[in-house]
Each structure stands twice: as C-alpha cells, then as structure tokens.
Amino acid sequence: IPIEGASALALQNDKDIWGDAYSKNIVLVSPTNLLAILRSVETIWRHERQNKNAEKIALEAGNLHDKFVSFIESLEGIGSHLEKAQTAYDTTFKRLSTGSGNLIRRVAILKDLGAKTKKDLPDTLSIDDES
C-alpha cells in the first residue's frame, strides 16, 4: 500500500485484511516496512541457495569418497598382483639356479668344455649346487 495513512486506515476498518491477504500468500507492506521485508526476503533466498549448495556439496563429497574407495581398492589389487608376480619370479629363478642339474651350472659347464660363445653369464648369477 503506497500511502502509509491509507494502510493504517484500511487496517482500522477491516481487522481481517491481514489474515485474508496472508491466506492468499500476499504480504501487505507499506513504505515504512517495505525495506525491512525486502531484506528479509533476500536473506531467506540467500539461505535457501546456501542450503541447496550444501546439499550439492554433500552429494559431491559422497561421490568423491566412493571414487576414492574404488581407487584404493584398485591400488590394493595392483599391489596384490605385484606380490604374486614377485613370488612367481622368485620361484622361476630358483628353478633356474638351484639343484645339482640347474641350468646356470649346466650352461657354465658347456662353456668350460669349449662351447663357442660371444657372451659371458653375468657375475650376479650364482650357482647353487644344493638339491
């Protein structure tokens, strides 16, 4: 209501005017309370936006958590496969270098017997004559 006096007169003559307006989702304002009501509405809208952002942040945080857990599970799987590969390597290398008939010793014997070779076995390979 643009005129303060008209607003006061209307409220004096019709006590139900506020209730009728409110039931129709209308808020009666006058020059005196317009700015305060507009600031209240702006504050409510800001809080609503913040609540929506908080919901989005919570959703994104949940998605990030789930993705992180999947990453850790994959990383643990890689570690497990690396351990299995190391075990397989160790077992295979043992078969190559241990026992009385191991391949490293047999190849060294062939060279000692005069086999024509262009390369020598690496010094890091040790010959284990145990069974």
**Domain boundaries of the chain, sorted by first residue:** 1-32, 33-112
SS3 26: coil
Nearest to 93, CA basis, from 125, 59, 67 = 125
Q: Is the dihedral of CA 75, 76, 82, 88 positive or negative?
A: negative
| pTM of the complete model beyond 0.85 | no
* Single-letter residue type at 34: L
Q: Is the dihedral of CA 104, 110, 115, 120 positive or negative?
A: positive
Q: In sequence order, what are the residues at sequence separation of 6 or more whose Cβ sits closer than 8 angstroms to the Cβ of residue 3? A: 30, 31
Q: What is the pLDDT of residues 32-63, one digit of tens each?
A: 888 999 999 999 999 999 999 999 999 999 99
pLDDT cut 70: percent of the chain above it: 95
**pLDDT band, residue 1 (cuts 50/70/90):** low
SS3 125: coil
- Take residue 6 and report the two structure tokens written for it: 């008209």
Q: What does R_g of the chain's alpha carbons equal in angstroms?
A: 43
Structure confidence at residue 63 (pLDDT): 98
Structure confidence at residue 131 (pLDDT): 47
d(CA 99, CA 36): 94
- Which of 18-27, 29-38, 75-84, 110-119 holds the top average pLDDT? 75-84
| DSSP-derived secondary structure letter, 97 | H
Q: At what angle do helices 103-112 and 34-97 cross, to 10 degrees?
A: 50
Q: What is the pLDDT of residues 55-95, one digit of tens each?
A: 999 999 999 999 999 999 999 999 999 999 999 999 998 88
